[in-house]
Amino acid sequence: MDALGINIFSILVYTILFGIIFIVLDKLLLPPLRKSIEARKHLIASNLLKSQELIDQRNSFTEEMRANEKEILQNSKLRAEEIIANSESEAIQLLKQAKAKSEEMLLDIKSALTIKESKLNATFIEKVRTASMNVFKAYYGEDEKLDQVKLAKALETIK
């Protein structure tokens, strides 16, 4: 085999050395390495479980939040409708009160105008009476007695 460039002694020595290195590595280096790999396997598996639990929790919280959101939205809509209804009823009540107050004020004004009109009529009649007497006196003179009955009849026709 020397012709092929293969040395059997070298192959035998390399094989023995490889076996020794393999045994040494198997006994010294591989157990801690296997332990480390197993620990990483367990860590990865537990992290995967934890992440799955967290995903489930997140999904649960999301569903719960959506349900709460819907409930809050419904309550808000109901409250808004209630507020609107109350506002509308208050507005109607205020309009009724304002209408009643304006009608009351209108009656007061009409009453005041009626009173003022009667006073003006009385004043007007008195001024007409005085003016008529002055005309009568000027026409007939101051010395003559005025016929009060005739004067009253004349004033009644003026009314």
> Over the stretch 53-97, which tens digit does the pLDDT of each residue have?
999 999 999 999 999 999 999 999 999 999 999 998 999 999 999
| 5 or 125: which leads in pLDDT | 125
Is pLDDT above 60 for 142? no
Q: Domain count for the chain, please give it.
A: 1
Residue 22: both structure tokens together: 């393999």
Tell me the angle at which helices 148-158 and 30-140 cross, rounded to the nearest 10 degrees.
140
Is pLDDT above 90 for 19? yes
Give pTM, 2 decimals. Answer: 0.40
Residue 17 to residue 122: CA distance in whole angstroms: 148
Residue 62: both structure tokens together: 């999301």
User: In terms of residue numbers, what domain contains 91?
Assistant: 2-158
Residue 65 to residue 69: CA distance in whole angstroms: 6
Q: CB–CB of 133/151 below 8 Å? A: yes
